[in-house]
Chain A
Amino acid sequence: MSSNRINFKEDFCKSCGLCIKHCPFGVLEFSTSFNAFGNHYVKQVDGKDCKGCGRCYIVCPDCAIEVLHD
């Protein structure tokens, strides 16, 4: 069980996909649902653990991701 938690601010996401491209472990994907602004927000792939490297946080231009090391 991973001790890292990704905190998504779903309404901030604009579906640019930079976090998905920069995640070295393929942990992120687009949701099939929409947020309040009509964008497919980013979510964690079911069953994949976050390693806590924070690259998604660093590249996110919309401040929509936080990575918490519990």
Chain B
Amino acid sequence: MFVLPKSLKPVKNHYCPGCGHGIVHRLFAEIVDELGIREKMIAIAPVGCAVFGYFYWDFDTLEAAHGRPPAVATAIKRLMPEKVVVTYQGDGDLIAIGGNECLHAANRGENITIFFLNNTCYGMTGGQMAPTTIPGQKTTTTAQGRTSLDGNPIKVCELISSIDYVTYVARTSLHSPENILETKRAMKKAIQNQIDNKGFSLVEILSMCPTSWKMEPYDAMKYIENVVSKEFKLGVYKDRK
């Protein structure tokens, strides 16, 4: 049976056709149902396309200032250690304006979970260059493609996995049903780590943004497979026992 999870409200979402957010929202809700943690769950929505996460998840969700979900999650988890605290962030939120919060939460080894959706651009504001934009990619602020003057993409998994206190770091993708199921396994493990008090877990999910990439939804999936996942290598970067 493939039935929508109870933790997902039965409403139409606001995302563009073919956007990966809808898929990850559903996976998140499925995991919450499967682990039976709906009453203990506190999710933190980012600023960005997923800013309305609380319209779709049927569990406690709050909104943090741009880039600050790891700081807010730290406070909630320290004050209420029995809760399961998960932040859901995009690339602009996590590694541009929120790079500091994410790095230091990881460095303190906070017992929280971060889901990081990487679509290589600022989707909500019209597809501007993000820290994760890949070299040569055309965006509204890099009309000739990203050059070395604009820097190189920040590899969040490689960066975070180099920190001693981090427990689990993995990068997955949404470019096929098999990879979507792999993403769900990684997300579930990241939440289970928190329940087992193992520490900081981060899952980076390569997602498609057909509107900003100016592609058909299926072509955007192929673009992840053929281009984006070559720049951002998939795999488990750290799994501390």
Q: Interface of A with B (CB < 8 Å)?
A: 9, 11-12, 14-18, 21-22, 37, 39, 54-55, 57-63, 65-69
Contact = CB atoms under 8 A, between A and B. Distances in A.
Contact of A59 (B4, B13, B19, B23): B23
B2 A15 contact: no
Contact of B12 (A17, A18, A62, A69): A62
A17 B176 CA distance: 14
Contacts of B16: 14
Nearest to A67: B2
Interface of B: 1-4, 8, 10, 12-13, 15-23, 26, 176-177, 180-181, 210, 216-218, 221
Given A17-B218, A18-B221, A61 B12 contact: no
For B2, B4, B16, B22, the residue with the greatest tally of chain A CB atoms inside 10 Å of its CB is B2
A57 B8 contact: no
A62 B177 contact: no
B180 A59 contact: yes
A12 B22 CA distance: 11
B177 A58 contact: yes
Contacts of B180: 58-59
Given A17-B217, A66-B4, A12 B12 contact: yes
Nearest to A69: B1
Given A11-B12, A21-B218, A61 B22 contact: yes
Given A15-B17, A18-B18, A18-B221, A63 B8 contact: yes
Contacts, number: 68
Given A17-B218, A18-B221, A54 B2 contact: yes
Contacts of B19: 61
Nearest to A36: B12
A65 B8 CA distance: 14
B23 A61 contact: yes
Smallest CB-CB A-B distances: 4 pairs: A61-B22, A57-B2, A16-B17, A14-B17
B7 to A, nearest CB: 12
Contacts of A54: 2
B213 to A, nearest CB: 13
Given A39-B17, A62-B15, A62-B22, 18 more contacts: A9-B10, A14-B17, A14-B18, A16-B18, A17-B216, A17-B218, A18-B18, A18-B221, A22-B177, A59-B23, A59-B180, A60-B23, A61-B19, A61-B22, A61-B217, A65-B2, A66-B2, A66-B4
